[in-house]
Amino acid sequence: SQQGEEDPQALSIQEGENATMNCSYKTSINNLQWYRQNSGRGLVHLILIRSNEREKHSGRLRVTLDTSKKSSSLLITASRAADTASYFCATAAQGAQKLVFGQGTRLTINP
Amino acid sequence: SAVISQKPSRDICQRGTSLTIQCQVDSQVTMMFWYRQQPGQSLTLIATANQGSEATYESGFVIDKFPISRPNLTFSTLTVSNMSPEDSSIYLCSVAVGPRDEAFFGQGTRLTVV
């Protein structure tokens, strides 16, 4: 399969806790992007990290990228019930715009 | 960013029929992408639609089953032809914009084939 892997496949935590999701990929990339999907609707773009970047922040989100290990992580701090969704990583190869998606992590925040 | 309007948002279709999905972008883009998300699965790229040329299909997808039109730089359609229940999925269009090639998605079309 060309798709990357994400772990865990499902994560359930209490509101206020931090959530960490991991993504691994197989080929050299230009960038890696994280998305949120609520209940099978469209994808919401969260953050993009380029291959020459190691860490990006956006609000309560922190993304890291380790190109030597071909892996990335998404940290959501101080989780809220509204963060309940599926989260996907997607990679774009060098010189390409099309994306290869990971399998996704289903995150549940319990009130 | 980009605003992408996709319609219909959902449809229930009879097997053997065809459905055309429309995707409108609020800016001109060279490439538009069509993805499929089968129930409980991740997204898989169907094809890349280039204005003025034939679409480029990924392995496992063929033009006869998923014909694509790209009449201008802001619009594309994907047709799901001769549908079967296995075609029941969410279909999403996407574009990449900006200097960082951030990819944005429409709200998707949830297709159920009965």
Angle at A35 between CA A30 and CA A40, to 5 degrees: 140
Contacts of B60 in chain A (CB under 8 A): none
Judged by a CB distance cut-off of 8 A, whether residue A51 touches chain B is no
pLDDT for position A60? 98
pLDDT one-digit tens code per residue, A36-88 = 999 878 899 999 999 999 999 999 999 999 999 999 999 999 999 999 999 99
Judged by a CB distance cut-off of 8 A, whether residue A25 touches chain B is no
Query: B107 and A50 in contact (C-beta within 8 Å)?
Result: no
Where do the domains of chain B lie, and which CATH numbers do they carry? 4-113 (2.60.40.10)
From residue A70, alpha-carbon distances to A24, B93, B109 in Å are: 6, 27, 32
CATH number of A5-110: 2.60.40.10
Contacts of B110 in chain A (CB under 8 A): 40
Query: A100 and A2 in contact (C-beta within 8 Å)?
Result: yes
- Backbone φ and ψ of A27, nearest 5°: -120, 170
Query: For residue A3, what pLDDT band results from cuts at 50, 70 and 90?
Result: low
Contacts of B107 in chain A (CB under 8 A): 41-42
Q: How far apart are CA B11 and CA B18, in angstroms?
A: 11
Judged by a CB distance cut-off of 8 A, whether residue A50 touches chain B is yes
